[in-house]
Amino acid sequence: MRRLIVTACAVVTLSACAPPPPPSPEISAQYLAGKVTADAMYTHLQKLSDIGSREPGTPGFDAAVDYIAGVLRDKGFDVQTPEFEWLKTGDPGTPTLEVAGRRYPVDQGSPLTPTGPGGLSALSVRPAKPAGCTAADYRGAPSTTGALVIVDALGCSVVDKQNAAVAAGAAGLLVVATEGVPGLFPRGYYQDLKVPVAIIDRDVDAALRRTNAPVRLTLNGKAALARSRSVLAQTKTGATGNVVMAGAQLDSAPGSPGINDNGTGVAALLATATALGSSPTIANAVRFAFWGSETLGAAAKYLAGLGADQLDDIAVYLDAEMLGSPNAGFFTYDGDQSGPPNPEITSVPEGSAGVERTLAGYLNLAGVRPADMPLDRVSDYSPFLAAGIPAGGVTTGGLQKKTPVQARLWGGTAGRPFDPNTGGPRDGIDNVDHRALSLAGPAIAFAVGAYAASTDGPNGVPARDSRHRKP
């Protein structure tokens, strides 16, 4: 009988008679955190350092996309590299508005819609209501046909102002704004501006009030739409209707190595994905996102392309940004709104407080007491909050200055930025703090593992059937 078994093994493949492979290690939050070591992250940081600047539209950016995608494919992930459009500016030109023979500098609000070399000559007219947001604002106003309409910056977006003005017959738009106004320029606004739009200050506005003669607007700045890529990969196991997303921007500022900002976030997620693998035994699928750019809105454009059901499938979003600042602090994003509020954040999705507690709990056990980082409207996590998706993350700080209290809490130098190198040529691998990275990177991995195992409990998020996300 023994001879027959040996003969059978010779006929079939060797694997059929080989002992079964050892079982995969249990994928737990603590297991993942233990695998995301400083050495594991520095391997990726060195590769990114060798690539150099990762500014969108450069060979370095493409090389970083290829590297990240290659690491993930080598671990068995199916990788996607969705494209997104962004505005590539060229010659800014000399935008001006000529009023009564005097030329005033203005800002070109419609980068893709210049006036041409000869400019646009027209009367300037104001709507009955200064905001100029709707057709009702023009009732009772002088004729605006062929005119340059003057509006203030409040009440709605510049796109809404343009649409109302064009519906009233305007040839162009002048927006009076002396400082940033929330909501005036939504993401991708420039693609919806079809007539010349200029931003003017109070002095120009006053000059316009003193004339009834035609004025000449010249907008000669040059810009074009360019395309770049993000990198996404999702586990082949786990519930696809309850996805845990973890993301980090992959690009760098122009001329910067971008190692802390944000090579450290990229490295932490790559190390987490490598430890997790593409087919782990987990309850909920994990989707890794390496955003092509934070400032160019890659995350927002990705979410805008999802349907309501696909948005509801995302249980939670975890953000990794600047995890090795040389004068490090340890911050979790303020999901429970216990810190000083940011007036721009009007609501925080249910479950965000639990994300903060999960991350803060890990850091406390690791030996550092975290503080709140106020939420903002420009980071990669902000479009998730806007869509109603609970979100949170970890950072060791950027250009904000460390306070004396924070220096006593975490060490380092008070009065200096957490990372004075952010966005500059000194943001290299030698200026990454090893200890900070070894604490903040595993914190993100721990949260990924915790929510991959379960989104229930005191730190959980709303169940799938109670989600009503906003596209």
Residues labelled catalytic: 294
Expressed in angstroms, the distance from the first to the final Cα of the chain is 67
- Whole-number Å distance between alpha carbons of 216 and 121: 4
Task: Evaluate whether 122 touches 149 at the Cβ level (below 8 Å).
Answer: no
Residues 6+ apart with CB under 8 A from 283: 238, 239, 242, 452, 453, 454
- Whole-number Å distance between alpha carbons of 93 and 89: 11
Secondary element (H or E) of residue 274? helix 264-276
Residues 6+ apart with CB under 8 A from 24: 277, 280, 281
Looking only at the bridges linking them, the beta strands covering 391-395 and 371-373 are unpaired
Q: Which two tokens stand for residue 316?
A: 């939670």
SS3 331: strand
- Whole-number Å distance between alpha carbons of 179 and 238: 47
Quick one: which of 350, 355, 327, 376 has its CA closest to 469?
Answer: 350
Any idea which residue has 């995302």 for tokens? 314
- Whole-number Å distance between alpha carbons of 320 and 395: 7
- Whole-number Å distance between alpha carbons of 460 and 353: 9
User: What's the DSSP call for residue 125?
Assistant: E
